[in-house]
């Protein structure tokens, strides 16, 4: 999985560092799996505020101290 040359966003790198599967985040947050995949590919991609807050809320519930600004520019 690692080192395959795929580009990753800050969000994608965070998921990789903490061994969090995209499918787990999608299931727990209720955000579409394709949206999660798009967000992990490049920093240019930003979620809507609704989806972003769902993702952040899910990560916080899992014990990670993260904020929207950690991954995406406002």
What is the domain partition of the chain in residue ranges?
A: 10-66
Strand locations in the chain (E): none
- Residue 8 near residue 41, CB atoms below 8 Å: yes
Report the distance separating Cα 52 and Cα 3, nearest Å: 27
Is 27:36 a contact under the CB 8 Å cutoff?
Answer: no
Which residues of the chain register pLDDT less than 50?
none
Closest CA to 12 of 33, 35, 42: 42
Residue 25's pLDDT is what? 95
pLDDT at 4: 65
């Amino acid at each position: 999985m690692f080192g395959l040359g795929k580009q990753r966003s800050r969000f994608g790198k965070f998921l990789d560092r903490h061994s969090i599967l995209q499918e787990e985040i999608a299931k727990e947050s209720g955000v579409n799996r394709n949206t999660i995949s798009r967000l992990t590919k490049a920093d240019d991609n930003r979620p809507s505020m609704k989806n972003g807050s769902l993702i952040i809320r899910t990560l916080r519930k899992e014990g990670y101290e993260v904020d929207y600004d950690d991954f995406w520019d406002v």
